[in-house]
Amino acid sequence: MNNLPEKMSPVDEPTELLSRPTEALVEMMLQIDGDFMFLGVGGKMGPTMALMALRATRKAGVTRKIIGVSRFSNWEERTFLEKSGIETIRGGLLNKDFSESLPQAKNIVFLAGMKFGTEDNLSLIWAMNTYLPDPIPLNLNLKL
């Protein structure tokens, strides 16, 4: 059950290890229809989660897009995702024109939000953590 290595290199292996899909996730990808869009993919967990979804999708033999949406303040992260096979879209989710321009995806993973040391801008925290998760302002046309 434990397939963790004794030692890991500080750069490549943690991402590879953390993005390994479980058999349950691979099975889930066989059951779910449609593309995945990760909103806020540029955060701490986003790249690993999107890569895990891509790896599980490929292992399941399913054809679908994995799309990562972020402001991408770190260009290396965006390049890494694109080289891995994840389509990226750069923009701010609070911009209505941008959010309305996003492609339709049946599966939305909401990772955007203000965290860790952001208490100096309470209105932005409210917008990101309360207003933005509502699918109506995002105009994602979700079937609720």
pLDDT at 144: 42
Instruction: Kindly tell me if the per-residue pLDDT of 3 is higher than 80.
Output: no
Instruction: Kindly tell me if the per-residue pLDDT of 128 is higher than 90.
Output: no
**Phi, psi dihedrals of residue 86, rounded to the nearest 5°:** -95, 125
Q: Please give the residue that has the higher pLDDT: either 117 or 18.
A: 18
pLDDT digit string (tens) for 50-71?
Answer: 999 999 999 999 999 999 999 9
Instruction: Kindly tell me if the per-residue pLDDT of 21 is higher than 60.
Output: yes
Cα–Cα distance between 142 and 144 in angstroms, integer?
Answer: 6
pTM higher than 0.85: no
pLDDT at 135: 58
- What is the residue whose two structure tokens read 């990760």? 38
Q: Where are the domains of the chain?
A: 27-135
- What is the residue whose two structure tokens read 């899909």? 21
| Mean local confidence (pLDDT), 15-26 | 89
pLDDT at 44: 82
pLDDT at 1: 46
Cα distances (Å, whole numbers) of residue 80 to 44, 67, 93, 115, 144 = 14, 13, 21, 23, 33
pLDDT digit string (tens) for 65-111?
Answer: 999 999 998 888 899 999 999 999 999 888 888 888 999 999 999 88
pLDDT at 125: 67
Class of domain 27-135: alpha beta
Which residues have CB under 8 Å from 97's CB, separation 6+? none
pLDDT at 18: 84
| Average model confidence (pLDDT) across the chain | 82
Instruction: Kindly tell me if the per-residue pLDDT of 136 is higher than 70.
Output: no
